[in-house]
Amino acid sequence: MTSEAASGEAMTNASDPNLAATLERVWEQLSALPFSELWGQTATHLWQSALFIGVVYLLATTMRRAPAALRHQLWTLALLKLFLPVSLFSGWALGLRGKVFGAAGVAEGSGWTDGLTTVLDPMSLVSADASSSHSGWIVVTALWLLAAGSILGWTHLRSRTPRKVGMDALTSTDRERLSTLVAEAGLDLRRIVLSPDSVMPSVRGVFRPRVWIPLSLFSALDDRHFKAVLAHEAAHVRRREPLRLWIQSVALAFFFFFPPLWLVLRRLHATAEVACDEATIAKGVEPRDLARALARTLRLGLSCPAPAAAFGSRRRSLLVERLERLQRHRRSESMRHHRLALILAGAALVATFFFPEAHAEKSPKADAIGALNGNSKSVSEESVAESEKTYPRPIPESMTPPVYPKDLEDARVEGKVLLKVAIDESGRVTGTEELQGIDGYPQFTESAQTAVLTWRFEPATEGGEAVSSAVVLPVLFKPSEEAKKQG
């Protein structure tokens, strides 16, 4: 027993260093991920989304008399914007903008495009280096993941499926009555699920939506009012409401901390219910019958199975809106200016792709002072963004171009090396660090470092005095034209 205990202790002591080494490697890998850049781009994306939601809100005020389905489409565009970060399409957008507006449209200092990009991305004005608080961003990301997972779990628990019973729970007379009313409402009897629980009638099932009906409601309502309930739920089925609600739940989990999203979700819910009311009336149901069915359903005290598409949401403001619309029912027609507002919102969404996030372009990696072509032995100098500080600039006479490795010409490898270059107060290069290489070809990094170490710079200044600094240089390598022809 003593030897076993000693052996166990030795194994524990041996495993501790392994565990510590594993945790250290995991932390190093996490530290290498660009969390600060990710959250910076997220801030820009949410700012642009907030601007777009503001535009949608203003357009929605011009569509108060429009059919609810059109207003729902308008707010759907606002939700869609959250799922389309412009940074994912920045390269495509810059190319498209160049084709539409020409070279002046993509030039960094071109008047109105540069100003608009700054409005869309105020984060581009922030020059603080967030690398010192990298561990803080890891913690923020971990908390966000925990909260998002909790919200998804909570949503799943709230949407637990009620109990169900078969059609044999009804008498033959009731089965015949139900079959007739279901057919008149435009539903398939196979889509009807009966429940003994006291829940609101609702539509469930993301891919195969079914209408859940409580037995108590079937017994309490007469044919006209029960048909109105079925017709309303049939409208939810046609709209694939459970799928829409699932997408909204995902948006809430990812962007729960973004208040404008709460407004978007409320309006989507409200316009969806009103749209189904309008579709029900369009099928021949009298507005007063639908209003009475809604009132009687609420008096039964049935619980609302959020987030399912339920007939009687208990949010007071929505109930008042629905009942008022049904009492003073006036047929909503799609007017020309209603569709124009919807088209303008869609155009505004598309327009954001012409002006991708400046933050992604003006990050430390994009503040590089030049792009080098190792084959042509020429340097393409790009101006550094003007600010209160001046940035180092290479002295052209000292810029020895990197050499394309001759032993790799047959392979015709193309790629980019990113170097972080340290520059002292006199403008001399004191060191280089590889930030990004060409996988499997370290020769390119060595060639770039050898060339850049010989360069001289006009030093950076701050407050009129020369200071040491660091810049990031992208070095582009392409094989010679002769090598391409030979290949």
Taking only the tens place, the pLDDT of each residue in 240-296 is 999 999 999 999 999 999 999 999 999 999 899 989 998 999 888 898 888 888 888
Same domain (yes/no): 140, 176: no
Strand ranges across the sheet with 415-423? 378-381, 370-373, 469-477, 415-423, 429-436
Same domain (yes/no): 172, 297: yes
| Domain assignment of residue 343, yes or no | no
Please count the structural domains in the chain: 3
Its sign, for the CA torsion 195, 201, 205, 210, is positive
Angstrom distance (rounded) from CA 5 to CA 68: 74
Q: Which domain holds residue 237?
A: 167-332
| Domain assignment of residue 27, yes or no | no
Token pair 């601007």: residue: 51
3-state secondary structure of 369: coil
pLDDT of residue 161: 77
Nearest Cα residue to 205 out of 183, 232, 236 = 236
In sequence order, which ranges of 62-110 are alpha helices (DSSP H)? 68-82, 90-101, 103-106
pLDDT of residue 460: 83
Taking only the tens place, the pLDDT of each residue in 328-382 is 766 666 567 677 877 888 877 776 665 544 443 443 333 333 444 334 333 334 4
Backbone angles phi, psi at 467, to 5 degrees: -135, 160
Same domain (yes/no): 474, 408: yes
DSSP conformation class of 390: B
| Domain assignment of residue 13, yes or no | no
In sequence order, which ranges of 255-398 are alpha helices (DSSP H)? 259-282, 287-299, 316-327, 336-351, 358-361
| Domain assignment of residue 29, yes or no | no
Backbone angles phi, psi at 23, to 5 degrees: -60, -40
| Domain assignment of residue 194, yes or no | yes
Token pair 């996030």: residue: 357
Taking only the tens place, the pLDDT of each residue in 47-57 is 888 988 998 99
pLDDT of residue 325: 77
Same domain (yes/no): 427, 467: yes
CB 45 within 8 A of CB 86: yes
In sequence order, which ranges of 300-420 are alpha helices (DSSP H)? 316-327, 336-351, 358-361
pTM beyond 0.85, yes or no: no
Statement: residue 227 has pLDDT above 80: yes
Nearest Cα residue to 74 out of 302, 346, 392, 418 = 346
| Domain assignment of residue 340, yes or no | no
User: The domain spanning residue 453 has which CATH number?
Assistant: 3.30.2420.10
Same domain (yes/no): 45, 116: yes
Taking only the tens place, the pLDDT of each residue in 416-449 is 888 888 989 888 898 899 888 888 788 888 888 8
| Domain assignment of residue 307, yes or no | yes
Same domain (yes/no): 407, 320: no
| Domain assignment of residue 345, yes or no | no
Taking only the tens place, the pLDDT of each residue in 445-466 is 888 888 888 888 888 888 778 8
pLDDT of residue 261: 93
pLDDT of residue 357: 44
Half-sphere exposure (Cβ direction) of 86: Cα atoms closer than 13 Å: 28
3-state secondary structure of 210: strand
pLDDT of residue 236: 92
